Amino acid sequence: GQSLEQPSEVTAVEGAIVQINCTYQTSGFYGLSWYQQHDGGAPTFLSYNALDGLEETGRFSSFLSRSDSYGYLLLQELQMKDSASYFCAVRHLGSSNTGKLIFGQGTTLQVKP
């Protein structure tokens, strides 16, 4: 089967750095995506890794290690508006999961003043 594990909640203070981990177990892995969702709104695409290593997009960075089936999202210089749910999602190819994004259960990030 497929599974993704990420922490349910993370709390940090404004200006700090936070890392949200994601481990996955799936067949037909193609890449790992990260999405942000505020209070039941539309998930917003943040970052994508298909190859091992770090991808940086402004204050957000994402890392992937395919050999360890592990990735993380790094948020720097936290702002109050970063309080939201963050989902990792696996993209699939070449299996019965082709086309699917399989999502983790989400990590609720609370940023405190």
Partner 1 sequence: EAGVTQSPTHLIKTRGQQATLRCSPISGHTSVYWYQQALGLGLQFLLWYDEGEERNRGNFPPRFSGRQFPNYSSELNVNALELEDSALYLCASSLGLYGEQFFGPGTRLTVL
Chain positions contacting partner 1, by CB under 8 A: 33, 35, 40-45, 48, 87, 89, 93, 96-106
Residue 83 CA, chain-centre distance (Å), reads 14
In terms of CB distance, is 33 or 61 closer to partner 1? 33
Query: Smallest distance from the beta carbon of 95 to partner 1, in angstroms?
Result: 10
| Choice between 15 and 41, CB closer to partner 1 | 41
How many C-beta atoms lie closer than 10 Å to residue 52's C-beta? 12
CA distances from 100 to 36, 49, 78 (A): 18, 16, 31
Q: Least Å distance between CB 13 and partner 1?
A: 25
Shortest distance, CB of residue 111 to partner 1, whole angstroms? 20
Residue 50: burial class (beta carbons within 10 Å; 0-12, 13-18, 19+): middle
